[in-house]
Amino acid sequence: MNYTKFHNGNSMPSVGLGVFRVENNDVAKDAVKHAIQSGYRSIDAAFIYGNEVKVGEGIAEGIKAANITREDLFITSKIWIDDYGKDNVQKAYEKSVNLLGLDYLDLYLMHWPGTDLDLLLNTWEGMENLYNLQLVKNIGVSNFNIDHLEILINQANVKPVLNQVEFHPYLTQTELRNYLSKHNIKMESWSPLMNAEILQDETVNRIAKEINKSPAQVIIRWNIDHDVITIPKSVTPSRIEENFEVFNFSLNDDQIKRLDALNENKRIGPNPAEFNG
């Protein structure tokens, strides 16, 4: 297991389980439990996913089954745009914590920047209050582009530890990655497998054959080799295990370059400059 260190001295696992578009039922619970039993220590949730109750049950059962403690895990959730505003942040945070059945979160993110930049800054003040009160271990953002980050960093007292964004070989986000690196903010990728679309790519499959790994393992390793934290989603036990077996190999420079060359600036999610919930 690899860990990535934040600018505040805390760290998080470089690979975790995503639960976007998983129903709030035993499928979610069992996926989270199996991931923890398989060695995952990071679970990425969000209020808007509507499945925090079952994800929380999976966390509780996973802790028991793996014979670990809550402190061994790194749990993320996110505040949705409807709850933005400095005075709403703590309420929204406590709602997620309660739904998950936890006492605290390791990371809380603003889910999207939104189009109201004053509201963005006002909400970040609430995030800072949460952090300063030591109710949450780390705070960060999701889907922020450079313009959003410039506005935030110029006003913030506490810099985000992380920006979770869309990132895969068809959207390599080089400029954003360089910006984040310069400001010592970590990048994390959501939906790194593009809902399995990238797994059909010829170059990805050729590299997978070269190193005798699966296409998914190639993509997840490509994230790690770019120092990008990643949270592939799966509810299939064998895939959950496969996606985690990425720490015993690396891609060589040529393979990384070939994957980087696939960039088309293609998004599968909304444009962060325009999306408002």
> What residues are labeled active site?
49
Give whole-number Cα distances, 265 to 133, 143, 168, 222, 261, in Å.
39, 15, 10, 17, 11
Strand ranges across the sheet with 228-230: 17-18, 42-44, 74-79, 107-110, 139-142, 162-166, 186-190, 228-230
As a whole number of angstroms, the distance between CA 258 and CA 225 comes to: 13
**Strands 3-5, 11-13: parallel, antiparallel or unpaired by DSSP?**
antiparallel
Would you give the DSSP letter of residue 227? Answer: T
Residues facing residue 141 across a β-bridge: 110, 163
3 state DSSP class of 168: strand
As a whole number of angstroms, the distance between CA 259 and CA 255 comes to: 6
Closest CA to 145 of 120, 170, 126, 128: 120
As a whole number of angstroms, the distance between CA 175 and CA 165 comes to: 13
> Residue 83, Cβ neighbours under 10 Å: how many?
20
129, 86 in Cβ contact below 8 A? yes
